[in-house]
Every structure is written in C-alpha cells, then in structure tokens.
Amino acid sequence: MKTIFSTIILSTFIFAQDAESSEIQAQAESTDMPTQTDAASDTTVQSVPSSLESGYKGLPWGSVKGDTITTAFTPVANNDTLSLNQSFVGSLGPDSVLVTYFFADSGFWKVEIDFVMAGGSLEKQISDFRRLEKNISAVYGPPQKLNHKESGASGAYGNLLDQKFATAFYRSTWSVTPAMIELLLNSAVLLPQSDLPIFSGNFSVMKLVYYNPDFMHSSQPMPEPEEIPSIFDIY
C-alpha cells in the first residue's frame, strides 16, 4: 500500500514538473513580449503578443501621437516635431531591433520592427526568418499567405574577380482580425564572402509589421492616376 501511495505522489510531482517545463519552453520560444527567466539566465526573453484585437502591447489602435507607450526599450531621439512616428531600440530574444510606432490622421495604426542584420550567409538569414515565422505561427497558426523565392549564386561560388549576389525574398502574412502581421526578408549576400568585397555594406533587410487596416486613413490627397494612352494611339 505504501508503494502504491508513493508511486502516486511521485507521478503527480513529475507531471507538475513537466507542465512547468512546457510552459517555460513555450515562453522561451516566443519573440515579442518581455517575460521573466530563471536566475541562471541573464537574457530577457520576448514573446509574441497574445491579442491584437484592441492594439499592440497596451497601446490601443487609434491612439494619438504623444500618448504613453509602455515599453522597456530605449527611446530614439527625434527632433522633427512634424514626425508621425516614434522609435525605440532594444532586444527581442536574441535579436537587436529598432521598433517604430506609426501614427496617421486616424491615430496609431502600425508598429514596424526592423531586425539588425549582422551579415552572415544567405542560409543563416533564411534560418533566422524561419525561426521567427515558426514562433509567430505557434501563436497565430500557419501563415495565410507565403511567398518564398531564392536566386543567384550558390554558397559554393568562389570567383573573387567576378563577385555575384545570392538573393532571397521571403514574405509570410497572417490575418489576425482586425489586425494583420507581415514578416519580410529581402536578402542579398555577395559571394564569395571575402575581406575584399567589390560592394561594401549590408544589403539585407528583415522586418516584422503589425498593423490595423481599419486605421489606415490619411488626409493627404491620393495622386491622380496617370492616364496611359492606348497602344493603338501610339502605333
């Protein structure tokens, strides 16, 4: 009888430990909201916001510029009094980012997260994209739309005197009514990688955007559509 009772207690303890470990693992795999980690880790883990119905991280859609933005990130000074955006820098998990809140005539409508691309191979940049895509999908389900393309030189290309670009365009879209989520990688890596590149600099961009189409309003007049003459008028 004691053996059975001990087994029940031990099973209950193991189940509780497994449940706690699963919860911590789920938090650690997210990419957008600060959470607390255990004392052994000094890294701030971010998770994707659980709800976008009313706004982004406590800032309601339609808020006016000047409303308080609650964030642990560092604000970026902007001396342009006419600017309709406000930026912050910080870290989302392992990534360094620039987070910009955009305001229109209808108020707050978009937040755009620019990831700092520290060079690396095309494969590494695609891997980072897929990591973010996986984390977002864990919260909101698979993307509604996908557009993944790769072209150009392969990683094995080695002609230093005729350097070429390997390119990748990856875009994934989620619909989270009333909001939309867009993850974009536009990557260009010069090959072969060398300390003597013909073109210097970083040619890759990765962005994560949360926006609400209901607040995409502007008082600025739209440009008049250009009239294109009929081909029969030209020839």
Can you give the pLDDT of all 235 residues of the chain as single tens digits? 444 444 433 344 434 444 343 433 433 344 444 434 343 333 333 444 447 888 999 899 999 988 989 898 999 998 887 888 999 999 999 999 999 999 998 899 999 999 998 778 899 999 999 999 999 999 999 999 999 999 877 767 777 788 888 899 999 999 999 999 999 999 999 888 888 888 888 889 999 999 999 998 766 665 677 777 776 777 7
Domains: count for the chain: 2
Q: Which residues of 212-234 are buried (b: 16+ CB within 10 A; e: fewer)?
A: beebeeeeeeeeeeeeeeeeeee
Is 206 found in the same domain as 142?
Answer: yes
The pLDDT, as a whole number, for residue 155 is 65
Is 116 found in the same domain as 16?
Answer: no
Is 78 found in the same domain as 110?
Answer: yes
Residue 35 falls within a domain, yes or no? no
Q: Which domain holds residue 24?
A: 2-30
Is 26 found in the same domain as 52?
Answer: no
Is 130 found in the same domain as 16?
Answer: no
Residue 235 falls within a domain, yes or no? no
The pLDDT, as a whole number, for residue 51 is 76
CA distance 164 to 98: 29
Is 99 found in the same domain as 17?
Answer: no
DSSP summary character for residue 215: G
Q: Six-digit token pair at 65?
A: 């510029």
Dihedral of the alpha carbons of 139, 142, 146, 150, in degrees to the nearest 10: 80
Q: Six-digit token pair at 172?
A: 């994934």
Is 13 found in the same domain as 70?
Answer: no
Is 25 found in the same domain as 112?
Answer: no
Question: 102, 64, 70: which is closest to 84 by C-alpha?
Answer: 102
Residue 148 falls within a domain, yes or no? yes
